[in-house]
Amino acid sequence: KKSFQGPFKACHDVVKPRDFYRNCLYDVCMSDGAKKILCQVLEAYASTCKKNGAVVHDWRTPSGCRKQRVSSSVYV
């Protein structure tokens, strides 16, 4: 929404969220609301936004998505 003031606000004009939103909605519904899927889609959108030069603020805290541990000392 244009009035949305969340962590992805600066990205919406750079990377349209429509396809990410639709894919997320479908995938989360098909997986009985799996939060892991939601977090993966948000991570993909954040990454795409950053690659296109948009500033993305902390989205993990409001969404409850923690960084995934890759090894004992590396986080993604």
| R_g of the chain computed on alpha carbons | 13
Quote the pTM value: 0.74
Dist CA 27 CA 56 (whole Å): 23
Residue ranges of domains in the chain: 1-64
**Residue pLDDT, tens place only, 19-29:** 888 888 887 88
Averaged over 31-59, what is the pLDDT? 88
Looking at the chain, how many residues does it have? 76
| Residue 54 contacts residue 15 (beta carbons within 8 Å) | yes
Q: Cβ(16)–Cβ(53) under 8 Å?
A: no
